[in-house]
Chain A
Amino acid sequence: MNLSNSEILLSIEDLHASVEDKKILYGVNLIVREGEIHAIMGPNGSGKSTLSKIIAGHPSYKVISGSIKFKGINILELEPEKRARIGIFLGFQYPVEIPGVSNLEFLRVSTNSRRNELGKSELDTFEFEELVTESLKIVEMDPAFLERSVNEGFSGGEKKRNEILQMALLDPLVAILDETDSGLDIDALRVVASGITKLSNPNSATILITHYQRLLNEVTPDFVHIMANGKIIKTGNKELAMDIEKSGYELINKRTKKKEVAK
């Protein structure tokens, strides 16, 4: 698919970053345009979650050099909440439990913060319940989860659905889903995948971080990137993902290196 004329939503240039004095990212480049679906794959520990947390603004991760722009604006100085409000969404690999905080109230406050930014009216409890009831259908989630504390005691799969529910409510422009497919049973995977498809639109983009082809069978990526040792070492289309599934990273890594040497 050639979308190179559409607007660039996210552009990352030569990003180097560290956590606790340990360097993790070594020059990441990535351009994401409206309407695109990207997949980022790569071995454990290669820096995928780190990249996603840095985009969302996690305070522990330090950007050493490089830039991250959202719709042309440098976001590195923005607080995480501001990034969320302007339309950056991170679906967590490990959603956090917050004991005692009502999921419903959390979702409402969160939704209102985004609506506020968009100049939409705040929803009161009653209005919000209507909205959330619709969104629940997308992820086929039981309303009982609204009454519980945020993620507390949720099963792995339930937590992931709750992430997609948040994505539905926040209606982001760039959604980064970090291993949202991990730990899901077949049915849940289909629900989550169809949720992602339903929620994607021509003005937004999705970045799927995944280890498995099975999600990409349901949500077809326009680009597949392979990350290794803190860098995107290869970019291709959906065939690349299939290739990885067959041969593993080791082989691809070697091939890439050979090519580099050949150059």
Chain B
Amino acid sequence: MNQTNTVEEIVSQPYKYGFVTDIETEKIPKGLNKEVIRLISNKKKEPEFLLNFRLRAYDQWLKMEEPDWSGLSYTKIDYQDLVYYAAPKKDIKKQSLDEVDPKLLDTFEKLGIPLSEQKRLTNVAVDAVFDSVSIATTYKEKLAEHGVIFCSISEAVSKYPELIEKYLGTVVPINDNFFAALNSAVFSDGSFVFIPKNVNCPMELSSYFRINSGDTGQFERTLIIAEEFSSVSYLEGCTAPMFDTNTLHAAVVELVALDQAAIKYSTVQNWYAGNEKGVGGIYNFVTKRGECRGRRSKISWSQVETGSAITWKYPSCILQGDESIGEFYSIALTNNLQKADTGTKMIHIGKNTKSKIVSKGISAGKSKNSYRGLVSISPNAVGSRNYSQCDSMLIGDEAAANTYPYIQSKQPQSNIEHEASTCRISEDQLFYLQSRGIDFEEAVSMIISGFCSDVFNELPMEFASEADKLLALKLEGSVG
């Protein structure tokens, strides 16, 4: 028996979420220019400041070069050949779920995200985003009782413009990078979360992104604000149909934590990865950044990345407040010709700031899985500490794993520790489990789960089992 092949077969379960919902959409014509931006802004009835924000970003974007430093090679994207706005035709946002097109509700139900009163998940509020539009948010009233705002960003723009104006673009500036600039110019929808002072959000918040159209760029924008002494745990999930073209997904996520606030942001990413020959799949170029603006604030990123043809993503923390804490827990599973270049940046600015990085990369097939991390300690960040641990697991002989830790320390009184390892699933481990009656497939998935356990433990309770099934996403082909 050739064990390597068999392990690869197990990791290569077909994608389960590749269906397309047949629904009439309204799309604006392909191409990008100022008129298109005005059109988007107009369709969304946005205030002046936001249109200006978009136009400024567009001007910046024109001046920028698409990055190629991430060591990823891919077919270049023709930005004039993309559609920048698509929405289900029958009205955009409904007052109640009964009015939402049943096809859309069905779609989400098929994805394991039931939205209706009877079936919806208990203790998790969900914002369901279909192509560029948020179609429903559950438990809004219950959250409102606590002063928590959870809605689509479009809704927030019209209802709470002052919050948007105050915070949007303050963590990821419009000229931060090529894709962030593009997103700032054309972002369509996404989620908005506001947790007022002294409130611990009573339930998990979750956004579920579904790409449906093939030629539409996806530009979600997420903004989460946690005021003083508040806390929230937020989860993002994503899937897309199987198209043989590549779809661009360039989201921006901004988190702001004020004094003693805590934000936990978890992602389970299962975009379509393309087929085994590398045709199709999502280009996932995402800018995620959190700013620990207040003293003793804490931002924790955990991510489980299994999909996308190419992932380029570095959720980061700016540790501005003294004694603030940044954490990054990541599992990235790549297969076939997938490429993932992911990692984090921990920017220590405040005194006695702490950061922790735990990254687990699993590469199978001919995939390429890289960890790229930056730990930067500024002269002011006296007494700061970082601990990084990057482990890679290789399946088969053709997969590659790389680790690029960059360290910039301008503060001698700081402490940086880095550990890295690479392993393979050993035949002896498999045999040991099998000799205890555990079948091969389960043995493989147990060993991979074990390898990832440090990160699993960081995922929110409600998603713990889902996360275990994550492997699942690829190993057993089923998702809860």
Contacts and interface: CB of A to CB of B under 8 A. Distances in A.
Interface of A: 53, 56-60, 79-81, 83-85, 89-90, 92, 95-96, 98-101, 106, 109-110, 113-114, 117, 149-150, 166, 170
Nearest to A117: B437
A100 B450 CA distance: 4
Interface residues of B, dominant DSSP: helix
Nearest to A105: B446
Interface residues of B, number: 26
A56 B435 contact: yes
Interface of B: 1, 3, 426-429, 431-440, 442-443, 446-447, 449-454
A109 B445 CA distance: 13
- Which 7 pairs of residues, A with B, have the shortest CB-CB distance? A100-B450, A113-B437, A100-B453, A101-B450, A110-B436, A80-B434, A96-B432
Contacts of B436: 81, 84, 106, 110, 113, 166, 170
B438 A59 contact: no
Contact of A98 (B429, B435, B437, B439): B429
B451 A100 contact: yes
Nearest to B443: A81
A98 B447 contact: yes
Given A57-B435, A96-B426, A149-B450, 9 more contacts: A57-B434, A59-B1, A59-B427, A59-B431, A79-B439, A83-B435, A98-B446, A100-B449, A100-B453
A170 B450 CA distance: 23
A81 B437 contact: yes
18 contacts: A53-B431, A57-B435, A60-B427, A79-B439, A81-B434, A84-B435, A84-B437, A96-B432, A100-B454, A101-B449, A106-B433, A106-B446, A110-B437, A114-B437, A117-B437, A149-B453, A166-B436, A170-B436
Contacts of B432: 92, 95-96, 98
A56 B447 CA distance: 20
A110 B442 CA distance: 11
A96 B429 contact: yes
Contacts, number: 85
A83 B436 CA distance: 9
A83 B435 CA distance: 7
A172 B383 CA distance: 57
Given A59-B427, A96-B428, A96-B429, A101 B437 contact: no
Given A101-B447, A101-B450, A113 B431 contact: no
A100 B438 contact: no
Given A80-B431, A96-B428, A110 B438 contact: yes
B446 A170 contact: no
Contacts of B440: 79, 81
Contacts of A100: 449-454
Given A79-B440, A81-B438, A110-B436, A58 B450 contact: no
A30 to B, nearest CB: 19
A79 B3 CA distance: 12
A83 B431 CA distance: 12
Contacts of B428: 96
Of the candidates B1, B3, B439, B454, the one having the most CB atoms from chain A within 10 angstroms of its own CB is B439
B347 to A, nearest CB: 30
B271 to A, nearest CB: 26
A81 B450 contact: no
Contacts of A60: 427
A83 B438 CA distance: 11
A57 B446 CA distance: 20
B21 to A, nearest CB: 38
Nearest to A91: B435
A95 B452 CA distance: 22
A56 to B, nearest CB: 5
A62 to B, nearest CB: 11
Contacts of B433: 98, 106, 110
B453 to A, nearest CB: 4
A240 B454 CA distance: 51
A106 B434 CA distance: 11
A101 B3 contact: no
Contacts of B3: 59
Given A98-B450, A100-B449, A149-B450, A58 B438 contact: no
A106 to B, nearest CB: 7
A100 to B, nearest CB: 3
Contacts of A117: 437
A52 to B, nearest CB: 10
A101 B451 CA distance: 8
A204 B293 CA distance: 67
Contact of A85 (B1, B437, B446, B454): B437
A90 B449 contact: no
A153 to B, nearest CB: 14
Contacts of B429: 96, 98
Given A79-B439, A109-B438, A113-B438, A99 B451 contact: yes
A170 B453 contact: no
B446 A101 contact: yes
A84 B437 CA distance: 5
Contacts of B451: 99-100
A57 B435 CA distance: 8
A137 B431 CA distance: 27
B435 A80 contact: yes
Nearest to B457: A100
Find the residue from B426, B427, B428, B443 having the highest chain A CB count within 10 A: B428
A239 to B, nearest CB: 33
B439 to A, nearest CB: 5
Nearest to B360: A100
A59 B434 CA distance: 11
Which of A53, A57, A100, A150 counts the most chain B CB atoms within 10 A?
A: A100
B49 to A, nearest CB: 49
Contacts of A57: 431, 434-435
Contacts of B427: 59-60
Contacts of A90: 435
Contacts of A58: 431, 435
Contacts of B453: 99-101, 149
A166 B442 CA distance: 18
A235 to B, nearest CB: 26
Contacts of A109: 438, 442, 446
A100 B449 CA distance: 7
Contact of B434 (A79, A150, A166): A79
Nearest to B2: A59
